Structure 1
Amino acid sequence: MDQIATNDIKRRIARDNPWWVDGNIEIPEASLPKRVYFHSFKRLALDTAVKRAAVLLGPRRVGKTVMIKQLVADALSHGYHAHNILYASIDAPVYSGMSLEQFIDFMPSAEGGPRIVIFDEIQYLKDWEVHLKDLVDNYVGVKFVATGSAAAALRLKSNESGAGRFSDFMLPPLTFYEFLTFLGKDEELIRVADSNGRSTYSTTNIVALNELFLDYLNYGGYPEAVLNSSIRDNQDQFIGNDIIDKVLLKDLPNLYGIQDTQQLNRLFSFLAYNAGKEASLENISQTSGINKPTIKKYIEYLESAFLIIKVGTVDDNCNIGLRERNFKIYLNNPSMRSALFSPVAPEDSESIGYLSECAVFSQWQHSSAFRRLRYARWKGGEVDVVLLGGAKDKPVWIGEIKWSDKPIKNFGEQTKSIKHFAKKHPHIKDCFLTTKTVSGTRLIDELRVKVSPTALYCYTVGRNVTKINEFLQRQIAHADDSIDDEEIDDDEFDDDDGEELSEVR
């Protein structure tokens, strides 16, 4: 048996980097719509003043590779020499056994100016953190960029070998804001107004907005599904087989040595079907037949693979507790449920309600406030969303997510839990309640409750989180190399009354 020939490797690398031959070549991805996160990521990825690798993380098929190719096109159009940009997809079989440093050896002779080296799907290289850190330390004038799906996020955060050498950038599924812009419906359905220096949003047609929100819940988290009708018509193939199965049957088993892939698949299907409902290791074990240690381990793996979101609970005193018994599991992308089972229809109010909660948490994924979101549960009451803030983890604001207008018709009865929780935490000055069609402001005693349709709320969070993220990325991109990224987050927005974070909502 022959080893892969060097000439075959060279031909593959040359095919992946056609701009080496023709620096003016059109890169097809450049003509596709850009994610709203593109410019923030570009600032991070092309900042050569900071000696760090930029690592783009996110689920499969949310547009990481497209964004990388758009980055290449942008760099070429702004004067980067074509010979100074390398792109390599690490999961290509022809690259099996190669070290990251070997790729640099295949680059053409360096020209003047900075160089960019891009490793796509870097998690397929064992101990990639060690190799990438070594390159960052030893190559002057080279900016390293990598993408990772599957368990890349967990490994990046937990492995100290990359500390101080990586700046990670999370690319979540499409927000509802992006979904509307991709369809060209944003300006048609959304009105923007300025209120005391802050943008507020309303809709010109709540019926049409809700119809598109339902489409978003069914297939809207993936750019390709939005732009390609044939993918929407075959989403069980696109999402079920091409995304979910590859993670469950390939990525996670390879990274963690999982032998019983059917058991992992069964657990994920169970969690997806019950997304948004309160769970515990005990009741999952009783229903699924899987032991609790295995469930706990698999949930961690599924989180790291960007398939699910686990949200912890607090009681009405806002105590987290030493042992977290109960939690909720949400889908990282609501449209995974319709691919696994069936699309939700307008009359499926209960299912839409749970998926709406998934959608709300999904919008928050690109904010560092995301890790401080909880739900509250106590005997006799529950609040869907609680944001903890400050050194003592006090509730900053609270909210209820509904796909119904009933809470407005019987406001006092339907908001008992909000009232109870707010009375126990009088420093809370703001909360929200989502409905199906109703907007406005209501009062519970002196507590102002902002009422908004769920679709409009998701749009608002997705759009405002983008604005805050752009600010944070500018701070990170220009931070001193000795500062850990974790020190730079949106805590500066988190004053005691939560005003700035209220703007996000």
Structure 2
Amino acid sequence: MAMFTDEKLLNLLLQYNPWWRGIQMSEKSAPPHRRFAFYEAKKLLEHPDLRRFVIISGARRVGKTTIMYQLISELLAKGVSVRNIVYLSFDNPILKLGGFEGVLRAYENAYSTEGEVYFFFDEVQYAEDWEVWVKVLFDSRPHLKLVATGSASPTLEKGSTDSGVGRWSVLRVPTLSFYEYCDLLEISARPQLPKGIRPTQLYKMDKGDLTDLMNKLSPLQQHFNRYLTVGGFPELALSRDDALAQRMLREDVVDKVIKRDVLTLFNVRNPLQLEKVFLYLCMHSSSIINVTTMCKELDEMNKSTLTSYIHFLKEANLIYISDPIGVDGKGILKGRSKIYVADAAIRNAVLMLEDVITIPEEMGIMVETAVYKHVAAFYYTSNAQVGYYRRLKENEKEVDVVVELPLGRLLCEVKYRENTHVKETDAIIELTNDEKAKVQGSLIITKRAEDYGVTQHHSRIPVVRIPAPAFLYLLGNAEKEGYTARM
């Protein structure tokens, strides 16, 4: 038990908290660029009336630790006492085994503090009984504030449900949006935009103003292609070696999650089966999954096992699951979910695809994946449901992305191809015209920079065509301006 002495744990604390020794936070650890999630975490941490611990969840390399260091940097700049700020990573084997109790004992025996104390725990899910100790900390130390991160959501959200009601909030961090990607790379083509632009309301703009807006956004197309292939992981996006970035994506994001995080947290007994499931989902990203068919194609895998593996991959932030939404009162494909890989670049890296930019079918899959991810992330903090629509009969008409809001619905159909002609009988037009569907906005996501504007259909509300880079950038701009849940 010598490894768990106060002296040993205190030495680790000193190593993890260099500001205790007068060493300033480096810009590499806390870069000046801030993600949207940083501001959400800061708002929760500093709320004057509602005390909440903050649990940040997300895939590996999305920048969770960076957000914590940025929060620490701001606290130090505000003059918070250095010993009142404690950072730890429970990825460390000694801390993992020593647990919360030992760390807390070593810290409180060594230092007396006044005022608010801030704890920052990285990869908290590796600490035994973490949710119990976080509950104890919340209840017994009213002057303590805490931010924790984890790469796998299940234990975090289970802990939030079991022990954390009224005590902490889980904040999911997706990969970089296209807007954040352009901002991070300080792309010179970023346009200055007037305030209050919302994609679903573009039909209200004067034709000349809409043309000016699209012309401002069109130079982003070349950067959009790289965004799709390299992905929304900050460190990799900043790399100049795209081939190395793809390899790191495979090794650091995918392999470590599947071969370590998921195996550890869910006690998976057959890692090879799990890898096969993820590979299959990568190959069929953006497709509706038939579990029975999938079991047969995966060597007669047990259906219950397969369903569990899909759930594990979702909770490990590697995939999104898009469920069918009823819109017009007619039959839908119940129980048949669409699967999207969490970032288009993950799929590229796993399948080792080359020259995907030149393959129309692959580009269509990547763009639909990006659109779903952006919309799902945009509405994450709201009560909206994001799924898809597909009718059972009449040729199984489909709308790729449907947002279910309390007062109506928004529709997005991805047509990333040269010819984006939409018939009057297509699902997006029929639903837009159906008063029962309560559609409040309809968008067709296109490929060419010049393919924009209101369609010629006689619809109840105008249906708007908008190029994919423009749509995703404007969605990010709306998020920055605080138009959450108002696409």
**Common fold by TM > 0.5:** yes
Paired position in structure 2 for 1:188: 189
Note the alpha carbon deviations across 1:102-144, whole angstroms, 9 max, x for none: 3233335244431101111101013321211111001121111
Q: Verify the 8 A CA contact 2:384 2:404 in the aligned structure 1.
A: no
Q: Residue 13 of structure 1: CA displacement?
A: 1.5
Contact 1:442 1:450 (8 Å CA) reproduced:
yes
What is the letter of the counterpart of residue 16 of structure 1? Y
Letter in 2 for 1:76: L
Query: Paired residue for 1:95?
Result: 95
Q: By how many angstroms is 1:93 displaced? A: 1.2
State the TM-score, normalizing by the size of structure 2: 0.87
SS at match of 1:243: helix
Separation in 2, partners of 1:23, 1:81: 14
2:86 is aligned to 86
The answer for the alignment partner of 1:124 in structure 2 is 126
Per the alignment, in what secondary structure is the counterpart of residue 106 of structure 1? helix
2:347 maps to which residue?
A: 337
Among 399, 404, 408, which residue is 2:417 paired with?
404
5 Å-filtered alignment, 1:346-365, equals: 346-364=357-375, 365=377
Paired position in structure 2 for 1:69: 69
Corresponding residue number in structure 2 for 1:308: 319
Specify which of 241, 248, 253 is matched with residue 238 of structure 1: 248
Alpha-carbon distance in 1 for matches of 2:198, 2:416: 30
Deviation at 1:27, TM superposition (A): 5.6
Q: Which moved more, 1:20-29 or 1:240-249?
A: 20-29
Deviations 1:144-197 (A, max 9, x none): 111111134664377422211111212111000000111112x62434134699
Which residue number corresponds to residue 225 of structure 2?
Answer: 214
Deviates most, 238-247 or 458-467: 458-467
Could you tell me whether the CA contact under 8 Å between 1:179 and 1:216 is conserved in 2?
yes
- Name 1:465's counterpart in structure 2: 479
Q: Secondary structure of the residue that 2:390 maps to in structure 1?
A: strand
Contact 2:44 2:52 in 1 (8 A): no
Distance 1:10 1:110 in 2: 14
Matched residue type, 2:224:
F
Match of 1:291 among 299, 302, 305: 302
Name the counterpart of 2:266.
256
- In structure 2, distance between residues paired with 1:96 and 1:135: 18
Q: Which moved more, 1:329-338 or 1:31-40?
A: 31-40
Instruction: Give the count of matched residue pairs.
Output: 464
For the residue of structure 2 that corresponds to 1:209, the secondary structure is helix
The one-letter amino acid paired with 1:211 is: Q
**Alignment-derived partner of residue 375 in structure 1:** 388
Amino acid at match of 2:476: G
Matched residue type, 1:433: I
Question: Deviation per CA, 1:253-293, whole angstroms, max 9, x where unpaired?
Answer: 11111110000010001101110011121221122232221
| Contact residue 23 and residue 82 of structure 1 kept, 8 A | no
Corresponding position of 1:440: 453
Contact persistence 2:150–2:156 (CA under 8 A) = no
Q: How does 1:420-439 map to 2 (within 5 A)?
A: 420-426=430-436, 427-437=438-448, 438-439=451-452
Structure 2: which amino acid aligns with 1:244? V
Taking structure 1 as reference, are residues 58 and 197 closer, same or farther at Cα in structure 2, changes over 3 Å only?
Answer: closer
2:36 counterpart SS class: coil
Give the letter aligned to residue 441 of structure 1: V
Q: One-letter code of the match for 2:173?
A: L
Unaligned runs of 5+ in 1: 472-489, 491-500
Match of 1:389 in 2: 405
142-151 vs 442-451, which moves further: 442-451
Match of 1:164 among 147, 163, 166: 166
Q: Is the 8 A contact 1:220 1:335 kept in 2?
A: yes
SS at match of 1:170: strand
Provide the C-alpha distance between the structure 1 equivalents of 2:233 and 2:94, rounded to a whole number of angstroms.
Answer: 28
Instruction: List per-residue Cα deviations over 1:386-413 (Å, max 9, x = no partner).
Output: 11122xxx75121211212412xx3436
Find out whether 1:226 has 2:228 as its counterpart: no
Match of 1:494 in 2: none
Work out whether residues 264 and 298 of structure 1, in 8 Å CA contact, stay in contact via their aligned partners in 2. yes
In structure 1, the partner of 2:8 is 8
In structure 2, relative to structure 1, the CA distance for the partners of 1:384 and 1:154 (3 Å cut) is farther
Q: In terms of mean alpha carbon deviation, does 270-279 or 203-212 score higher?
A: 203-212
For residues 443 and 130 of structure 1, do their structure 2 counterparts lie closer, same or farther at Cα, with a shift above 3 Å needed?
A: farther
Note closer, same or farther for the CA distance 1:374–1:308 as it changes in structure 2 (3 Å cut).
same
Change in Cα spacing, 1:466 to 1:260, as seen in structure 2 (3 Å) is: farther
Amino acid at match of 2:191: I
Q: CA deviation at 1:344?
A: 4.7
Q: Distance in 1 between matches of 2:368 and 2:479?
A: 17
Secondary structure class of the residue paired with 2:423: helix
TM-aligned CA distance change 1:104 to 1:450, over 3 Å: same
Structure 1 counterpart of 2:139, one-letter code: D
Compute the displacement of 1:5 (Å): 5.1
Instruction: Provide closer, same or farther for how the CA distance between residues 46 and 105 of structure 1 changes in structure 2, counting only shifts above 3 A.
Output: farther
Which of 445, 463, 474 is 1:449 aligned to? 463
- State the Cα distance separating 1:452 from its structure 2 match: 0.4
In the alignment, the residues of structure 2 paired with residue 238 and residue 274 of structure 1 have an alpha-carbon distance, to the nearest angstrom, of 22
* Structure 1 residue matching 2:357: 3-state secondary structure: coil
Going from structure 1 to structure 2, the CA distance change for 1:252 and 1:398 (only over 3 Å counts) comes to same
- Alpha-carbon distance in structure 1 between the residues aligned to 2:335 and 2:50: 42
User: Do the aligned partners of residues 256 and 74 (structure 1) sit closer, same or farther apart at CA in structure 2, a change above 3 Å counting?
Assistant: same
TM-score by length of 1: 0.84
Residue 205 of structure 1, CA deviation: 6.3
Instruction: Tell whether the 8 Å contact from 1:130 to 1:162 is kept in structure 2 after alignment.
Output: no
| Structure 2 residue matching 1:188: 3-state secondary structure | coil
After TM superposition, give the deviation of residue 219 of structure 1 in Å: 1.2
Q: What is the aligned partner in structure 1 of residue 46 from structure 2?
A: 46
Q: Is the 8 A contact 2:6 2:106 kept in 1?
A: no
1:403–1:435 CA contact under 8 A, matched in 2: yes
Name the amino acid aligned to 1:85. I
Q: Tell me, yes or no, if the aligned pair for 1:80 and 1:113 is still in contact at 8 Å.
A: no
Deviation of 1:22 after TM superposition, in Å, equals: 0.7
> Which residue of structure 2 lines up, in the alignment, with residue 325 of structure 1?
335
Q: 1:193 to 1:124 in 2, by over 3 A?
A: same
Change (3 A) 1:246 1:24: closer
Give distance in 1, aligned partners of 2:415 and 2:42: 37
Tell me the amino acid that sits aligned with residue 359 of structure 1.
A
Mark the CA change 1:25 to 1:418 in structure 2 (over 3 Å): closer, same or farther.
closer
Is 2:364–2:416's contact at 8 Å kept on the other side of the alignment? yes
Structure 2: runs of 5 or more not aligned? 203-209
Separation in 2, partners of 1:48, 1:105: 29
Change over 3 Å in CA distance of 1:224–1:254 after alignment to 2: same
**What SS does the aligned partner of 2:189 have?**
helix
Q: Is the 8 A contact 2:18 2:24 kept in 1?
A: no
Query: C-alpha deviations, 1:445-466, integer Å up to 9, x for none?
Result: 1330111001111112233234
Q: Which amino acid aligns with 1:307?
A: L
- Could you tell me whether the CA contact under 8 Å between 2:6 and 2:102 is conserved in 1? no
